[in-house]
Structures are given as structure tokens and as C-alpha cells.
Amino acid sequence: MTTIKQIAEFLNKELNINNIEDSSCNGLQVENEGEITKIGFAVDACQETFEKAFKAKCNLLVVHHGLIWDSLKHLKGSTYHNIKYLITNNLALYASHLPLDLHEKYGNNVQLANLLQLKDLRAFGFYHDKAIGFSGSTDTTLEKIKKKLQNQGMKTLSLDFGPKEIKKVAIISGGGAKEVYQAVAIGADLYITGEPLHFVHHFAKENNINVIFSGHYETEVWGVKALMPLLQEKFKVKVEFIDVPTIV
Ligand SMILES: [Zn+2]
């Protein structure tokens, strides 16, 4: 019988969660009882995701953005209802935030780099002492990269202020807009991140760099999706991706 403790221990180790400083309380956030037979994978811990996972008969949800962060002080309002729903329905919640951004096999960023077939991958985008993203080399055009992203259902809100020919790309999934200065510092022609920030417009223009905002959600489905075959194979459980996209 597969229990939540076995799966959580395996993921903690595989994702090295104890060695990565993060405002997310990574790991098992809400426990449950009994056997795990089906795992749902999602980007966000939210009511809609929980209800879809319960309907799909999942006993565990593995998410990128969990419910419990350093800032959580009270179980009130929607947070109370979220946690009550999980406990009432015996649905466990496991979260992996930065560990699933930066992981060199399963992480959101390496998956995006692989999608764009970047070569000579290097750790990029430092937060505390850890690199979250990746940079790599290529020989393509901005338009071809946009097409590739669009073909995967990703957003391509773009600031086309750099060269049309792209040799070096830097990537940080999700809310990495502020890190655009690090992309300029390494001489990237293109910086890809999830969510837009206003100041990046003039900064990119004045530093001749292209920036594509591909959606916070769309750049962060990759990590949890990469864990699906891993857990399916290891624990012989059913798996399902619970798709609840956001507008930003
Ligand atoms: Zn995120």
C-alpha cells in the first residue's frame, strides 16, 4: 500500500527540498490517511483545482504554488475553506515551488530550455545563492521562438527591442520579470519569463533586449507535468494533470 509519507519522502529527496531557501513551505502541506491510488498534478493550490482533483478521484495533489507560505499566520476566510475542503475529502497536498523551478531534470526552466532546444545550458538568474533559471545558446529567430511557444499554448506578449536573430536566451519561469537585468548582464538577446511588469518595457528598450512574457501559468505547468511519469512509474499509481489556467 502506497501512503502519503512514502511519496512525500521520495519527492523531498528527489527535489532536494531541504536545501533550497524559499518563501513557500515546500513538501507535504496537508496530510491524509489511507492509500494513495491517484495523484493529481496542478500549478496552483486553489478551490477550483481541489474540486476538480476530488472529482477525478485523486487522493493527493502535487502543486507548484502551495497553500502554505512563510506569510501564512491564520486559517481564516478562503484559506480556512481550502484547508477544510482538503481535510474533509481526505485529499493530501504536496507543494514544490523553487525546487521545481530550478531542478536540472524536472524543473520548469530546464523543460522550457529543452523545448527551445537550447545548447550549452548554464545556471542563470540568482535568488539568494541559488540559480533558478537557465540560459543557453541557439541559432534561430525571434519569430521562430514565438511560434514554438504558441504551438505549446503559451502566451507571447513580447517586447521586440533586441536583434531578430537570436543566439543567446535566458529563462526564468513565472514571476521573474525583475531579473531582466541579469539577462542583460550575461548578454542574452532574448529573455523569457512568465508574468509582465511595467518597468521592463523601458529597461528592455534601453538595453536592446527582446523579452517575451509567456504567462505565469503557462511557464509553470512543465515541472509538475514532468513529475507525472516519475511517480506513476515509481508507485504504480494513476496520474492526471488538473488544468486550471489563469489569465495572467
Ligand atoms: Zn510561480
Are 130 and 80 in a shared domain? no
CATH number at residue 201: 3.40.1390.30
Does 110 share its domain with 94?
no
- 220 Cα–ligand 1 center, Å: 6
Identify the band that residue 129 occupies on the pLDDT scale cut at 50, 70 and 90: confident
Cβ–Cβ contacts within 10 Å for residue 229, how many? 10
| Ligand 1 center to 157 CA (angstroms) | 17
Total structural domains in the chain? 2
122 and 207 both lie in a single domain: yes
Query: 34 C-alpha vs ligand 1 centroid, how far in Å?
Result: 31
Instruction: Assess whether 235 and 170 both reside in one domain.
Output: no
Decide if pLDDT at 128 tops 80. no
Q: What domain range is 225 assigned to?
A: 4-98+221-240
In a domain, 247, yes or no: no
Ligand 1 geometric centre to CA of 174 (Å): 4
Give a yes or no: residue 245 inside a domain: no
What is the 3 state secondary structure string of the chain?
CCCHHHHHHHHHHHCCHHHCCCCECCEEEECCCCCCCEEEEEEECCHHHHHHHHHCCCCEEEEEECCCECCCCCCCHHHHHHHHHHHHCCCEEEECCHHHHHCCCCCHHHHHHHHCCCEEEEEEEEECCEEEEEEEEEEEEHHHHHHHHHHCCCCCEEEECCCCEEEEEEEECCCCHHHHHHHHHCCCCEEEECCCCCCHHHHHHHCCCEEEECCCCHHHCHHHHHHHHHHHHHHCCEEEECCCCCCC
At residue 132 the predicted structure's pLDDT band, cuts being 50, 70 and 90, is very high
Co-location of 35 and 111 in the same domain: no
- Domain identity same for 31 and 122: no
Q: Is 160 part of any domain?
A: yes
User: pLDDT tens for residues 42-77?
Assistant: 999 999 999 999 999 999 999 999 999 999 999 999
In terms of pTM, does the model score above 0.85?
Answer: yes
